[in-house]
Structure formats: C-alpha cells, structure tokens
Structure 1
Amino acid sequence: MGQSVLGEVPPTSSRGGKSAGIKNAHYRHKPALMRHMPQIAHVDVNCFYASAERAFNPSLEGKPVIVLSNNDGCAVTRSPEAKALGIGMGDPWFKLAPRAKEWGLIALSSNYELYGDISSRVMELLGRYSAWLEVYSIDEAFLGVKGSPAELLAMGRSMKAAVRRNVGVPVCVGIAPTKTLAKLANKWAKNNKAFAGVCHWDSVPAAEREALLGRLSVEEVWGIAGRLTRRLNVMGIFTIADLVRADPVAIRDKFNVVMMRTVLELQGTPCIPMEEERIGRDQLIFSRSFAKPITTAAGIRQVMSVYGQQASARLAKHGLQAKVLTAFAGTSHFNPKDTSYPSVCVPLPMPTADPVILTKAGHALLPRIVEGVRYARAGIMVTDLRPSGNQAPLSLFENPHEERHIGTLLEDVTRRYGRGSIGLGHGGIRGGPDWTMKRDMLSPRYTTHWDELPLVKAA
C-alpha cells in the first residue's frame, strides 16, 4: 500500500453527489463509557522476513533486501529500499539477478527456522501485555486491550518499543473497537509518519477518519479481494466510506453473513471474535516444489515417506489425528509437453497420527506415477482432523506404532537435532535428497543451531 493512499488525509470526496459523512458509523457517536470498553490491538511486523534478517545482520540496514520463495524462485518480502527500486511482489529472481549488482540488491533464501523462532519471541513478548492474544499469522497478532485512549496509545508505544528492543524487529500497532478497524489503523500507522507506528482509531478526529475512508477503495478492507470488489462496484460501492454507509442486512442478502459482519465491524460493532488457538484447522498440507524434477516412482516414494512422517510429527505436536489422506503430484505448468497430475484419496481405517500408516497411505499414489515424466512437485494433505484420544479403538484396530508414540518421538528428535536427523524406511535420508528445496543464499539459523550462533567481537 503506497504512501499516497494511507500516508495522507485527502480532502473529503464521494461518488454520485452523496455526502461523505458516515451515517451509520457507530464510533462517531460513541458514549464516553464505551471508550473504556475492551478494544482490539493489531500488531504486525514490518517486512517480517527482511526485518528478521536485519536483526542479526545490521549491515543490511538501509540496503535493498529481498527474501525469495521456495527454490529461490521469486521475491516474497521486499524491504522499503527494494520497493523503491520498483521491485514487485512475486518478481522472479532470474529477472532481477542481472541488475542486482547495479542496484546493490541483496537477495536471501527463505530461512524458515529463523523466522519461526523470531515469530515465537515476538508473540511471547506480546502475550505479556494481554491474556487475550490471538496469533493470526507468523508476523501478526490481535490482542484484547482495555483503557482510556491515552492509556491505549501508551500501551501501543510500549509494545512497539519492547519488541524492537528485545527482539530487534520493527512493528506497527493499530488499536480500534473491532478487528477490521484495527487492521485498517495498523496500515495507517505504517504509512503515516505522524503516528510514529502507533494509531488509536478513536483518537483520530472523526473528520480525518471519514476523509481517509472516503479515499480508500473497498479492496483495502481486510477479507475483500478483487472479485468481491467488482461485485461491490456494480452496486455503487467504491470506497470504504460507501461500504460503511451500506445497510448490513441488505449486504447479507446480496452476499453472505461474513460480508454483513465486515460492514458491522467497519461501523464499530465487534462481530469477529478473538480465537485463543488457530491450530484446530480442518487440514494440514505438506508440499514443496522440487529443486530438481523427479522422474521415477522410487523418487516419489521417497517424497511420500518424508512428507508422511512430517505430517505425523505435526499431528502429534498438536494432539490431532487424521481420518483421510490425499496424495498428489504434478508437472510444471511451464512444461506443456510433459503433463501429469495424479492424485489419490485414501480413507484411513481409523483416526491416526501413526507415521507408518500415513506413509503407506501416501504410497497409494505410486501406481499412478508415469515413469520418465518430470514431476515438479508432490505432497500430501491430511483432512478430517480430530483431537487424539477422543475414542479408544477396539483391540482389533489397535496400532502398536501409535501406542509407542512414534510420531511424538519424530517431532522431539527433529525439533532438537533438525530435519533429516531421523526418519523411517524411505524417509530416513541422511544429508537430505537432491530434490529438497534449493536455498543457495541461506543465512545462518542464528537462534536455533549452536554451530550457527552469531559471534560478537569487542573492539
């Protein structure tokens, strides 16, 4: 989002001669008592991957930095300096590489272990400010907060300073009565220097809020993508201000209850509850593009074995079991002469996290693999997840591997000694197979491996 969108407060404008005043915006007429009701703080790490790299490598400060996707494919994070060069999200590295030296551009492979650990530290620190914490993604969280406007602003500034001081990454904070407005306040704080990285929505004069909403496209609203934007435009809803003025019931009838909640949230009525834990999802997917294509069923067997055991470890970590496994493979979309997209869905005999059963289920894909075809990716998906131990199986169906907690063992060893340190059967690969993810520009895993700890030398 550019500075011109959220960095300035433009003159009030509207379409079709309508007044830019937001008639249904409850936060405009909020009684003084409600100003002390619980509010939502949205905390987001700025350019997270690049910021995590800079935390341990200060020489990257002020330089254009990009972090690349799997197999060093394309830019998925760009520092402000890289954005200033005109580098777009998703630009392929092979197109950027020839001019990298001229620009002084620094490209890094995705260092997921480092980013995951930095994320954990940020979230642990934020949890000290509220018992009501929802980790929304690797780089953002919602917190339930309470206090007067001055107290909330002070809390936001304290969180921002604490994360910077103790973890080393910059964050912005948006505070508002609802999640949707908190996300919007965070964007405003990030792109308007006057806020110094912290914006409390209700502390901003109503005229300035209305001017902002009258300028921003509905596409800027959390959860509204291009297709929804086009449908809203057909209804004459072009700006966020237009959407705030809309009748929530009419929006529900035209779209769905989710869109109605979005309108109510923009009007200041909380409709999206905080979630204590987001792990209880409906599915887990393990899939990667290969650094080198696989052309044999034996190679795909190895992939299925590795991913089956990773799925087992992840399920065991979160106390879940799966009832269905889907295995799939596919050729590159850029290779139209050599196409094959086999898949198979395997109902499991009982809910399980057993690595042996999951691996065998993944091997059901092998008869559909065409020898000689260059497969560019493969993976497994486990679905119909449920908590472990809900119902003990009959003795006929008892699983000796699960009773011995093999999945938990795999997770514990992997966490302590790293991926590739343990495996079963075809998944027991020492040193890693040649199809694993290409990361030629990987930085050290500063916080998770003893032999990669940063060294500090006194002058």
Structure 2
Amino acid sequence: MARPAPMRQMPQIAHVDVNCFYASAERAFDPSLEGRPLVVLSNNDGCAVTRSPEAKALGIATGEPWFKLAPRAEEWGLVAKSSNYELYGDISARVMELLGRYSAWLEVYSIDEAFLGVKGDTGQLLALGGRIKESVRRHVGVPVCVGIAPTKTLAKLCNQWAKNNPAFGGVCVWESVPAEVREGLMGRLPVDEVWGIAGRLSKRLNVLGIFTVLDLVHADPVMIRDRFSVVLMRTVLELRGTPCIPMEEERIGRDQLIFSRSFATPVTTSAGLREVLSIYAQQASARLAKHGLQAKVLTAFAATSPFRNHEQAYPSVCVPLPMPTADPLLLTKAAHALLPKMRDGLKYAKAGLMLTDLRPSGNQPPLAPFENRHEARGIGPLLDDASRRFGRGSIGLGHAGIRSGLDWTMKRGMRSPRYTTHWDELPLVKAA
C-alpha cells in the first residue's frame, strides 16, 4: 500500500521589526538608559521622532517640540538624544545581515523592519520566530518582535499583536492563534492600524461603516476596488489570506532620490547656497553610484521658514540632464541653476535636490560624441570611496571642497558617540 504524499507546506512571510528603533539603538551602547523615558529628536533637535515606552507613558506625543518638553525634562527624568544617523544606519545593517542568515528570501523594507520568506509547520515557525528574536537581541543588542503569516499584510498585523500583547512573548504566528481570538483582536483594532491605510483614507472607510480591521475583512473586495483602488482591494484580499503583494529583492526607491536637509543656521548669501548645493550634489552622486544608478532629471529647491510671516520664498528649478549620469560635476553644474532664482539677504532654512528618471548605469551607453569623460573616469565612486575611508569632508570638488565647522550644517548638540563607525568614538571596555 502506497504511503500518502506528505502535505506541502505553504510558504509564509515573517515580518521582523525593531521596537522603538532609534531609542533601542541608543540603549544598546548605554545601558543606563534602560527603563528611563527617552526621546530621540529630529534634525536640528527640533521635536521628538522616537519615544521609548516610558516616554509614551508620560503622554509625550510624536512630533512634540523639544522646547516644550525641556522645562519638565528634569522633573520627569526624561533623556533626549540628537539623531545619530551613523549609529542607526550601522545597527540597521547588522540587524539585516543577521536576518539574512535565517532566509535567502529577504526584503529590507525600511531601516528598522524587513520581510523574510520562511517555511515550516506552526510549531517550527514559532520556534524560528523565537530564535530570530533571541539572536538579534543577543548579537546586536536591540529588541525585535516577529509576526509570521501567509501574507505581508497579515504578517505586519501579527507583529503588531506580538508587540502590544505580552501574552505572545514578542512572536505571533497567524496559524497559532485560534480563529475566534483573531476575530476578536481584529474587531478591536481601528482600520487605520492596517498597513497602508492612513487617516484620510480611514475616514472615507468610516463613512461606509468600516471602522475596524474586521469590518474591512468582511467588506466586498469589488466594491472596495470600485470606490477606492486596486491597491486597497489587494489589502482586503491579503487580510483574507490571499497573497497579493509579492516579496521584492531590493527596495531603494528606484523612481527618485531626494537629498534634503534643514539648516541649523539660516543661509543668507548666494555663496553659501552655492556651497550647500555643491555638497548635496556630491553626496547625491555617491548614493547613485552606490546603487548603480544614473539620473536624467535634477530638481533643486530651497525654502525660507514657513513660520516667518514676511519674506517667504520657495525657489525651485528643474534641469533635464544631457544624458543619464551620476557624475558629481554634471550634477553640481545642474544644481547651480537654482542660484539665479535666489535672493541675497533672505534667510533660507532648507535646500535640497531631487533626482528622477533613474535607470541602471550603463543600461544605454551614449554615442561617442556625447560621452562624458568624467563618468568614464569614475570620479563619483572615487569621491565616495575616499569619504568612506577617511571621513566626510576629507575630499571634495570645487565649492564642496574640504571644509570644517560649517555653521549651516545640521545641529546635533545632544548626539551620543558614533560607537561603531568612528575610530575616535569607539566604546571602551574595562576589565574589573
């Protein structure tokens, strides 16, 4: 008698998310911050962008200005840290490298979360989620939660349950939760908690009587498509367990690249703005080269503070490039097209570049008369390599040359050390 064929295990998707990522990264190298209310501030130490659970318990909202929190910080025992992007980027890279050991099917979705393709029965998936959680905590030092389900949307939902319900212990597998419990959880969760549904869309859904995740699950997908979009219909189908959002090998924003910063001190002269645009063009060139991309269109823009009642200005210029390029010289020249539209004396608080119509490098080689000699010499990758080896500001072109102490650069007065990326800021360990 022939043995029955074993049941085929359907592929599942694991969603791994670092809890309060910026705050957790700060705590990884400073244990004294554990258990204390902690906020990480936005550019120029403006407002709270990440809050530890203890800070949330104080009623501190995301986006709360630091100048309002500072007077009560000592009373609350509140600690504030400037954004330490070098540290966060390195911690993120370590987390993603570690996750890649558990699956060859990895999609890095953002700096603090990723999707993994996994297989196994319910018990095996629960054990895998536990190993991932323990491994990241032990080897990188940051806490994560894991949600595993048949679709991306359900995996995100499971991760949210794992994070907010201590009974799950930080790991939630869809199939391990009884159907009646799943319905109860979805019936208590507002519809705007679903991945991809923002406040404005949730209000439109509320008009149709769709207030909770469970209401959306029971909605007619065809009606949702006709009244909203195919994208939202896919969300409904995903909530029902039908995979509609495929895994992607790479997410680097291939449609556009934006490089924009606010200034710690306003820039008031054309010379200062020329320097800003030159530096931004050089750094944008390095990012393009890193991802093997070239741009066909550059948009440069600047803005005064929106809180100034007088003398507001928002100049911008769109420059079609002669050929797809990542060359810093061509990008700098194009960015300088904004300068004639700027007025000396105005206090510009922000500037930036947006590169669009991106395409892979070498995808369409130009004819010989139109070749860019700088591109062939690899100036962009050379600058990027030198900056990574010797530090930003060690090399530059023209107005983006070697400088130090630029007064318009981002203010980060409460930044912690960049423990893992700068030799002179490495942590010291002393044996007792």
TM-score, with structure 1 as normaliser: 0.92
How do 1:300-379 and structure 2 match up within 5 A?
300-379=273-352
* Aligned equivalent of 1:113: 86
What is the deviation of 1:432? 4.2
* Aligned equivalent of 1:220: 193
Corresponding letter in the other structure for 2:188: R
* Aligned equivalent of 1:54: 27
* Aligned equivalent of 1:390: 363
How do 1:31-430 and structure 2 match up within 5 A?
33=7, 36-279=9-252, 281-430=254-403
What is the deviation of 1:395? 2.0
Q: Deviations over 1:32-91 (max 9, x none)?
A: 957x21011000000101111111111111111111000010001111111111111010
In the aligned structure 1, how far is the partner of 2:116 from the partner of 2:235?
A: 19
In the aligned structure 1, how far is the partner of 2:364 from the partner of 2:113?
A: 36
CA contact (8 A) 1:286 1:379 kept: yes
* Aligned equivalent of 1:446: 419
Change (3 A) 1:70 1:280: closer
* Aligned equivalent of 2:430: 457
CA contact (8 A) 1:325 1:383 kept: yes
In the aligned structure 1, how far is the partner of 2:122 from the partner of 2:295?
A: 46
In the aligned structure 2, how far is the partner of 1:276 from the partner of 1:432?
A: 40
CA contact (8 A) 2:268 2:344 kept: yes
Change (3 A) 1:318 1:83: same
* Aligned equivalent of 1:29: none
In the aligned structure 1, how far is the partner of 2:405 from the partner of 2:110?
A: 28
Structure 2: which 5+ residue stretches go unaligned? 1-5
What is the deviation of 1:109? 0.5
In the aligned structure 1, how far is the partner of 2:389 from the partner of 2:34?
A: 32
In the aligned structure 2, how far is the partner of 1:95 from the partner of 1:230?
A: 30
* Aligned equivalent of 1:4: none
Runs of at least 4 residues off by over 6 Å: none
CA contact (8 A) 1:420 1:432 kept: no
In the aligned structure 1, how far is the partner of 2:346 from the partner of 2:412?
A: 24
In the aligned structure 2, how far is the partner of 1:236 from the partner of 1:103?
A: 41
What is the deviation of 1:226? 1.0
What is the deviation of 1:250? 1.5
CA contact (8 A) 2:144 2:170 kept: yes
In the aligned structure 2, how far is the partner of 1:221 from the partner of 1:388?
A: 37
Structure 1: which 5+ residue stretches go unaligned? 1-31
Q: Deviations over 1:206-248 (max 9, x none)?
A: 1110011111111110000111111111111111111101111
Corresponding letter in the other structure for 1:227: R
Corresponding letter in the other structure for 1:111: N
CA contact (8 A) 2:254 2:359 kept: no
Q: Calculate the aligned-residue CA RMSD, in Å.
A: 1.1
* Aligned equivalent of 1:431: 404
Corresponding letter in the other structure for 2:264: A
What is the deviation of 1:417? 2.1
Across the two proteins, how many residue pairs are aligned to each other? 427
